[in-house]
Amino acid sequence: AGFLGEDGFAEGQSAANFLLQKCKESNKQKFNILELAGTENSSIATARAEGFRSVIKNDKRFNFIHSEDGDFLRSRGKEIMDSIIKENGGLKIGNEPIDVIFSHNDPMTLGLLDSLEQHQISPKNTIIISIDAEQESIDALINGKLNCVVECNPKLGPTLMDLVQKVASGETIPRTTYMEETVFTENDDFSTDEP
């Protein structure tokens, strides 16, 4: 009858919009981006990648220097970052510093943070953007380890039941219903109990 879920393309766009805003006042001529992509050829990884690129494609300062499939796994996020640090002697690819990390989900992001911590590398000079908004990532954002977390809203239940009841009573529902999603950033006030 219809699709209910997340809009991966919009999530990628939200991530890139934060990046544009963050870099708006910067005098830097180039920002090198490392992308930790989700499972290769999965619809959500493709949508997030395309959404992100659609926003920054006309800004010549942004340059993808490496993109790797992390399979949405924390272990792969750590493995990829461990490998980059070992092969390049730090948070860089060859002689190019990694200025921005765009990760398609929180587990991979948390894995790369595990790696940075293990190698005693501070993420302070790197813009790190993640998607999901798991509590551990929100905590990392509050602690200054991440700059932006785009929510992937899992609370489908009430909307699903509303749509099911409409279908059951013979009503037509929209072909696509996307969940409302929040963007959490380093600029937010997290002093209350609820982010």
Span 151-162, average pLDDT: 76
Span 129-140, average pLDDT: 94
Span 75-84, average pLDDT: 97
Q: Are 100 and 126 in contact (CB under 8 A)?
A: yes
What distance in Å separates the CA atoms of residue 83 and residue 78, rounded to the nearest whole number? 8
Q: pTM of the entire structure?
A: 0.86
DSSP 8-state secondary structure symbol assigned to residue 78: H
In this prediction, residue 98 carries a pLDDT of: 97
CA-based nearest residue to 37, from 8, 17, 58, 59: 8
Positive or negative torsion for Cα 96, 98, 102, 107: positive
